[in-house]
Amino acid sequence: MANSWYAYLGQGKDPYLNTSYKKVTIDPLCLSGCTICAIYLLGQTSDIPSQMPLSTPKMMEYITNSLVSLSPEPNSGAVKHFVYLKCY
């Protein structure tokens, strides 16, 4: 199963919509900040991710927690982060 990084297309777009993201072929250098930078999705390979992984309760929780805490999520120990942030 392939996994992919998706860059957030910018402030003012809805971070819960799949059309707000585009696949990137490099790992993001961002980590913490004030807005979404990139998300890591399991089982996704298309240029724009399907809506399904973004609408799962867990990913919605990660995105919401990131925006509130201004830190990557999940934010617990050695677990891989699925949401990265940055400041403009």
Give the torsion through C-alpha atoms of 51, 40, 72, 59, to 10 deg: 30
Q: Where are the domains of the chain?
A: 3-86
Tell me the range of 3-7, 52-56, 75-79 where mean pLDDT is highest: 3-7
| Residue 1: pLDDT over 70 | no
Summarize pLDDT for 44-74 with one digit per residue, the tens.
Answer: 999 999 988 888 999 999 999 999 999 999 9
Residue 12, pLDDT score: 78
Residue 18, pLDDT score: 94
Between CA 86 and CA 84 the distance in angstroms is: 7
Residue 79, pLDDT score: 76
Enter the pTM of the model.
0.91
Burial code of 36-64, b = ≥16 C-beta within 10 A, e = fewer?
A: bbbbbbeebeeeebeeebbeeeebeebbe
